[in-house]
Amino acid sequence: MTTRTFTARAAAVTGGVLLALSPLTAQAAQATAATPAAKPARLAQPTQPAQTAPTVAAKGAALLDGTSGDALFGKDADTARPIASTAKIMVATVVLDTKGVDLERQVPVRQEYRDYVTKRGASTADLQTGDKVTVRQLLYAALLPSGADAAYALADTFGTGPTSTERTTSFIAKMNSKAGELGLPHTGFTTFDGTGSDSSTPRELAKLARHAMRNDTFRTVVKTKQYKGEAPAANGRTRYYTWNNTNRLLGSYDGAIGIKTGTTTPAGECLVFAATRGDKTLVGTILNSKDRYIDAAKMLDYGFGTNTTKTLKLRKLPANTPRD
C-alpha cells in the first residue's frame, strides 16, 4: 500500500471505527511520510587478490619493467652465476655502441674462426672460410644460431692490435669496460662467446639487455625467428645462409620480442627474454634452469597480470638448428 501524506485532520480506519487524529499525531505522520525509505546496506565488494609471485625452476631470475627499470620479480637476483652464450648480448652491445659503426662493412671469414668452434665445441653459424659477410650479418649469426664463429669475427674486427689474439683480448677488455660504464659491478667476461668463466647476476644481465634493446638494430635482430641472406663466396660465387633463432619463446608467447639463449654445463640453461603487450615491455633473465621457457612465461604472466603459461606451446625448431 502506497504511503501518502497526512494532514492535521487525517483519519485512520481500524476495525471499521473512524478515529480522528490529533494535530500532534498528524504532524508525526507527516514527518514519517516525508522521510525517504532507508536504502538497504551495500555489500562490500571482494578485493581482487594480488597475483602470487611465480615459482621458477631457475637458480637465479630477475624481471624488470622495460621502461622504468623497476624490479618486478627476483630469485637470487644479485648472485653472480655463469651466463653461457648470453654473453653475446655484450658483444653486440660493444659493436653497436661503437661510434660511427658501419653495419655494411664486409668482414672476411678466417679459418681460425671455424677452428675455434671445433676446439671449444661451441655453437656455430657455419661461416665458410673466405666468404665476406657484413657486420650486420655477423650480428644475426651471433645472436640467432649463437655462432661462436660470428662472435669471434666481431671481436677480431672491432678489437685493436696486430694479431688476432691481441685484437680479441682488447675486445674482451671493451666488454668489461662497457659493463663498468653501465654500472654492472658483478658482471665480467673472459671470452667473447660465453664459453669461459663469464658471469653476471640475473638483475645486472637484465639491465644489460634493457640497454641493448634501446638500439633499433639489436631489437630487429633478436626478434627475428629466421634470417636468410647471401654473401660473396671465396670462389667468386654467392653463398646463401639461413640462420634460425634458438629462442623458442619467439612465436610461442604472445608479445615475445627476444632476446638470447645460452647453455653450457656450468651455466645450465639460460635465457634472456623480453615481451611487449600494449604499452608495457618487460625484460627478464633466467640463469641455470631445467625449464627456462616455462619459467620465462610464468614471470611474464606475473608482470602482465595474465595467465597463459598453461596453454603455452613452444615453437619447434628446424632439425639443423644448433641447440643453445
88 flagged as catalytic: yes
**CA-to-CA distance for 174 and 199, rounded, in angstroms?**
15
Angle at which helix 111-120 crosses helix 148-158, to 10 degrees, equals 130
Amino acid at 209: A
User: Residue 315's closest CA among 260, 244, 262, 264?
Assistant: 244
**CA-to-CA distance for 269 and 313, rounded, in angstroms?**
19
Give, in order, the Cα–Cα distances in Å from 234 to each of 27, 130, 132, 148.
110, 5, 8, 21
CA 235 to chain centre: 42
Residue with cell 667468386: 236
Strands 60-65, 17-20: pairing kind:
unpaired
The active-site residue, picked from 75, 123, 146, 223, is 146
**CA-to-CA distance for 24 and 108, rounded, in angstroms?**
109
The active-site residue, picked from 59, 68, 75, 85, is 85
Residue-by-residue DSSP string for 264-312: ETTTEEEEEEEEEETTEEEEEEEEEESSHHHHHHHHHHHHHT---GGG-
**CA-to-CA distance for 129 and 235, rounded, in angstroms?**
10
The grid coordinates listed for 313 are 606451446
**CA-to-CA distance for 133 and 150, rounded, in angstroms?**
10
**CA-to-CA distance for 272 and 253, rounded, in angstroms?**
14
For the chain, the first-to-last Cα distance in angstroms comes to 80
The grid coordinates listed for 176 are 668489461
Instruction: Return the active site residues.
Output: 85, 88, 146
